[in-house]
Amino acid sequence: MYLKVQSKKSIDLGVVLAQSTLSDGNMSFARGAANEVIANRRRFLSKFGLELDDLTAAGLAHGTECRLLDNRRRSAGAFTLQNAIPNTDGLITAESDLILAVTTADCLPIFLYDDDCSIIGIAHAGWQGLANGIVKNLIKSAAALKKQPLKRFYVKIGVSVGKCCYIVDAERLKRFAGLPLCEIHHRDGAKVHLDLKRIAAIQLERQGIPAENIEIESKCSACGGNYPSFRRDGDSFITDIAFIVKRSKYQS
């Protein structure tokens, strides 16, 4: 899975972003046996010629913390949840061959890179992260790493729960006051569907990312078939893994 919108340089440098599916198996140490997670992660990464030792995973807290990482954190969270980057939902790096990863099951994976391929980032964004400002933090942290116009950043919002399946109550709706919500009122008038992907895109635009640099994956994790979904599967849910990397050592 590549961004449709890519600079010449991103193709040359091999910026790769990907998201596993249900059939790739569980990717979260919190949701299954560690040896299976490691095997599943290895198998998925090998499809891209990548190795698990090069991966760094966010610990995930449904928060807004975004951290700048370098090679010292390589492998953190790759083989155990214990040393994942704690209390963090967004990762950013300027390093090559450092795979930044989050796990999701309905939440949005948000992939980011700039057209110079000097910076890549990824965020895990559920309704809490979006309501509290993870999009703003991700963009501000990336922009601070290398000062350049925001029009040179590209973003992809990956497979996540769609407005078709994301029904919320009035309390949660209040957290998104002032945003177009793509509300769908059912006949009973009680159900409201929230479009988290559209909300994220609007927040990205408000931070200065041009609309034409934002790509939204339309597939819904809950009803789109082969993707992990908490909403669909309840207590038995597993997670996918989403990653981004700029790989130099694999170039010929």
- Comparing CA positions, the residue from 129, 52, 53, 50 lying closest to residue 87 is 129
Pairing of strands 90-93, 120-125: antiparallel
Rama region for 96: left / alpha / beta (φ>0; ψ in -120 to 50; rest): beta
Which structure tokens are listed for 6?
Answer: 């890519």
CB of 233 to Zn ion, least distance (A): 13
- Comparing CA positions, the residue from 167, 160, 165 lying closest to residue 219 is 160
Of the chain, the end-to-end C-alpha distance in Å amounts to 21
Q: Mask of contacts with Zn ion, 144-163, x by CB under 5 A?
A: ------------------x-
Minimum CB distance to Zn ion smaller for 52 or for 192: 192
Minimum CB distance to Zn ion smaller for 85 or for 220: 220
Minimum CB distance to Zn ion smaller for 165 or for 179: 165
CB of 163 to Zn ion, least distance (A): 8
Q: Mask of contacts with Zn ion, 217-246, x by CB under 5 A?
A: ---x-xx-----------------------
# residues contacting Zn ion (CB under 5 A): 6
**Minimal CB distance residue for Zn ion:** 220
Q: Across the strands, what pairs with 91?
A: 67, 122
CB of 29 to Zn ion, least distance (A): 27
CB of 125 to Zn ion, least distance (A): 17
d(CA 194, CA 176) in angstroms, rounded, equals 9
Minimum CB distance to Zn ion smaller for 145 or for 223: 223
Q: For residues 155-214, which are near Zn ion according to CB under 5 A?
A: 162, 164-165
Minimum CB distance to Zn ion smaller for 119 or for 238: 238
Q: Mask of contacts with Zn ion, 63-92, x by CB under 5 A?
A: ------------------------------
Confirm or reject binding of residue 216 to Zn ion (CB under 5 A): no
Stretch that binds Zn ion, among 91-99, 110-118, 175-183, 216-224 (CB under 5 A): 216-224
Minimum CB distance to Zn ion smaller for 113 or for 166: 166
d(CA 148, CA 29) in angstroms, rounded, equals 37
Minimum CB distance to Zn ion smaller for 42 or for 198: 198
CB of 204 to Zn ion, least distance (A): 22
Residue ranges in contact with Zn ion by CB under 5 A: 162, 164-165, 220, 222-223
